[in-house]
Amino acid sequence: MLLPDVNILVYAHRTDEARHEQYRAWLEALVSAQSPFALSVLVAAAFVRIVTNRRIYADFTPLPIALGVVDALVARPYCRLVGPGPDHWAHFAGLCREADATGKLVADAQHAAVAIENGCTLVSRDGDFGRFEGAGLRWTHLVLD
């Protein structure tokens, strides 16, 4: 089951992002297919945090719209909402140790731990996830150029 990372959701949502149309089309194909896809509660929250941030975007997304984007994904019939489970800390700490994660990579480790724990393949534009492959992460580096 594919689990899109936050950057995929942001690029698909923000029309001012480079390659917006390609990422939007990819996401639309994923959520329109008649097969399950995963949405992490951590990814959803990060999406809302990023697109509503006035420091990142002068023309930020209003909160009701950002929440509506996530609500629309969750409402899809094949959406499976996933999140940290009982083994999350063990996966997360192991990934951090394996990759010597600090700073931004710590958040990536948390997303990777959710993917591992839920048996998902993480799909991201962020090449840093390659640092977790040796620790059991299945992922796809989605570059739509």
Burial of 136 (0-12, 13-18, 19+ CB in 10 A): middle
CA distance 31 to 87: 28
How high is the pLDDT of residue 144?
Answer: 81
Q: How far is CA 105 from CA 13, 71, 99, 109, 133, in A?
A: 23, 27, 8, 6, 14
For the chain, the helix, strand and coil percentages under 3-state DSSP, each to the nearest 5: 55, 15, 30
CA distance 82 to 117: 9
**Domains of the chain (ranges, CATH numbers):** 2-141 (3.40.50.1010)
CA distance 49 to 63: 9
DSSP state of 60: P
Instruction: Tell me: pLDDT of 145 over 90.
Output: no
Instruction: Determine the average pLDDT of the residues in 62-72.
Output: 99
Instruction: Tell me: pLDDT of 11 over 80.
Output: yes
Mean pLDDT of the chain: 96
Model pLDDT for residues 87-142, shown as the tens digit of each residue: 999 999 999 999 999 999 999 999 999 999 999 999 999 999 999 988 889 999 99
Backbone angles phi, psi at 35, to 5 degrees: -145, 150
Model pLDDT for residues 20-64, shown as the tens digit of each residue: 999 999 999 999 999 999 999 999 999 999 999 999 999 999 999
Instruction: Determine the average pLDDT of the residues in 67-74.
Output: 98
Rg (CA), the chain: 15
